[in-house]
Structure 1
Amino acid sequence: MNRRTFLSTALAVGSSGTLVAAPKEKVKIVSSLPRTGSAKGQTDGIVNAIKLAIADFEKVLPFEVTYLDRDDATPRTGTWATEKEEGIAEEAVEDKDVMAVIGPYNSGAARISAPILNRAGLVQVTPAATMPGLTKSGPASDADEPDKYRPGKKITFCRVCPQDGSQGPLSADFAVEELKIKSVYVIDDKQLYGLGIATAFKSRCEELKVKVLGHESVAPTQRDFQPLVKKIKAAAPDLVYFGGTTISGGAAIAKTMHAEEVNCPFLAPDACYALDFVNGVGVETLDAMKCFVTVGGIDPARLKGAGADFVKRYKEKYKTDPEPYAVYGYEAAAVVLEAFRAVGKKDREAVRKAVVSTKDFEKGVLGKWSFDADGDTTLQPLTVARIEKGKFRAVKVMGTK
């Protein structure tokens, strides 16, 4: 018996001579999410799901996992802040017990943290940041994307949610196939997420020979949308598409459309798939409109097998239905925790390699999927929901074969 084996055995034997479990080595997972502000409802779900995943995996892990729930938002703005996101990433890098980061929620925040974590070789899995340029080059990306997020020349940024490169076009497909539109008016909020998804939606509409009657960019701080909505009413589109969030104009534009009697459907992306959007527009107003919101993935109520079991257990534990991002929160944690189990040692590089090389993953709740060579999930379905009686009712799943 070598000295290391002897010492390990000795440490596992109590004073009475009976065997006792050796203490597990400690590792940490950090999440960086906006825990204050308009996205708190979604991030509550993500955090709850991460905790549930850790509880599910802890018996098979060689480590004791500590989870650090960090807030990258400020109370003053209610949204993520560069200094907060940067600080969380740097803290994670410096703490050698941290083996993975889950987050962020926002694509703009990911642009800040991704290169910091990449230099350190610390793997990052986002449940929500959907900007295509974070992982792939393309028409909607900057010339130096995604290379500028990979200064260490390795893949460290992965996402379990579909990116906007699929959400925008699939939203356009839905509008043409299900709503039978021939014309559209597009609005974006000038932000990375909103502009990117609106551009992708518009491009697909043009491919489908839908007439784009106008494309307006609004400031995320704008509050009066009456002049814009009157302009839209005069154009008489078959649909209004908004690329942005609840607080950057989504709720206010929808509400103003109803007030100005613009009766065409309103379609918005996943950033508006939240209770704050419903409250911002108003339940009665939404019931009087045709308002649709998309979200990457499959509506939790439609999940089968392990997914359905997750929904049941989540409701039992947290006394509420999980939102779609809770599902992605669980999946992000599950792929990290499975890497911990497979690697079996406290080694950032080994964990990174295990995560980014994930193939045919089935230990989560979304069924079988893989990360592609860029860190994107191979699952790219899109759920379209109509808001009725204050609830998101799934009406169509796009992008499935």
Structure 2
Amino acid sequence: MRTVRPTRRRTPADRPRRPVPSRLPPRDVLRLGAVGLRARRARVVLSALGIAIGIATMVAVVGLSHSSKADLMARLDRLGTNLLTAETGKDWDGNVVKLPKSAVAMVERIGPVQHASATGYVDVRIRRSDAVPEERTAAVSAQAARTDLLSALGAEVARGVWLDRAGERLPVTVLGAIAAERLGVAAPGEKIMMGDRYVVVVGILRPVELVPQLDRVALVGFPAAERYFGFDGHPSMIFERSPDHTVEEVRAVLARSISPGSEGYIKVSRPSDALAAKAATDKGLTTLMLGLGAVALLVGGVGVANTMVISVLERRQEIGLRRALGATRSAIRTQFLMESLLLSALGGASGALLGTAATYGFALAQDWRPVVPPWSLAAGFSATLLIGVLAGLYPAVRASRLHPTVALNAA
């Protein structure tokens, strides 16, 4: 008699397991993507060039903007932002309102004022010599100056000496940098014509950055201007320095202190504001150039996408073979996304190097301190990776959807 054994119920552990596709480790994915790029080097270089141009433009624009700003801030620190100027204006009838001869003394009575000086317009023609017609003045004017003018402006003499207590009474002059160039005066000791009188050049100034109009004038002492050239002794511009925290307070009372009752005709300004306005202008230009760099980067991304689409079309048999051997759609997508990322990263790294080199080269040529903010490099490289993902997404998805049979039969 046969013994019937009881049947055992199947459990989930007894069911056959479906094979789990293997996954490529990140190192192999990176190597596979690099192999795809090395097979088409010329195309890769041309595609990466668009990305490189965009990133180089953006890095260079940011770097040069920061280098220029750093140089500007250094100049402001050196020159100071506490200089105020007050100059004469015209009344309602068009007549010039003269400043009082005691204007400097009145400014010095303002509590916070540390330095005060003045210049005055001298109505006399300046020529290189008496052989030059009077109407040819070389666009150089004459002004009377006090001996303490340089200390108030923080200006310096490039060659020769400044006017002292003796020199301000003699027929001698100190030329601004541009005035010396226009008159053809290379060194102190030469003579020029002021009106119908020869005067000796005793000094040549360095460029006065805060008051550039002084670069185009010939300066003589107040007593000499009154004695030899008919100067009336009234200053035309006052220069004043006070501590930084008191500048606005002094500015509010400066015109009224100089000429009570006529303060509405006196123009008070702060020369350092012109440098600050230049910084604002540079910021607008930087924004424009960053926009152009972004457009170049976008064009580079389109080039990367085009390259990847063509790569998918050319490599259909390779894709079909890998799919037939067990590669999943995810593996195919990852492969082509990695190629796109590597292509963009190559362009981004090259662009960052080119932009940094351009920044250093131009900044050093302008005697600036080169500044390339680290965030600009990080932002540029991050942008290239984002471009790489977006540009490679469609080609990668398209490659992963190719049927193995169709891909292997492709010509």
With the length of structure 2 as denominator, give the TM-score of the two structures: 0.19
Between 1 and 2, higher relative CO (CA 8 Å, sep ≥ 6) is seen in 2
TM-score normalized by the length of structure 1? 0.19
